[in-house]
Amino acid sequence: MSARNLDIRRLSGALGAEIIGLDLARQRDRATVAAIRKVWLEHQVIFFRGQTLPPAEFLEFAREFGEVVEYPFVKGIDGFPQITPVVKLEHETVNFGGLWHTDTAYLEAPPMGTLLIAREVPPYGGDTLFANLYLAYETLSEGMRRLLDPLQAINSSAKADVTKTREDRVRDGAKEDARKEYAAEHPVVRTHPETGRKALYVNPGHTVRFAGMTEAESAPILSYLFTHMVRPEFTCRFSWQPGSLALWDNRCALHNPINDYHGHRRVMHRITLAGDRPR
Considering 37, 101, 190, 269, which one is annotated as catalytic? Answer: 101
User: What DSSP assignment string belongs to the chain?
Assistant: --GGGSEEEE--SSS-EEEES--TTT---HHHHHHHHHHHHHHSEEEE-S----HHHHHHHHHTTS-EE--SSB--BTTBTTSEEEEE-TT--S-TT-SSB-TTTTSSS--SEEEEEEEE--SS---EEEEEHHHHHHTS-HHHHHHHTT-EEEEETT-HHHHHHTHHHHHHHB-TT--S--EEEEESEEE-TTT--EEE---TTTEEEETTS-HHHHHHHHHHHHHHTT-GGGEEEE---TT-EEEEETTTEEEEE----TTS-EEEEEEEE------
Considering 166, 186, 266, 270, which one is annotated as catalytic? Answer: 270
Active site residue 7: no
Active site residue 255: yes
Burial classification of residue 39, based on how many CB atoms lie within 10 Å of its CB (0-12 exposed, 13-18 middle, 19 or more buried): middle
CA distance 226 to 251: 16
Considering 43, 169, 255, 269, which one is annotated as catalytic? Answer: 255
Considering 43, 103, 168, 266, which one is annotated as catalytic? Answer: 103
CA distance 106 to 101: 11
Active site residues: 101, 103, 255, 270
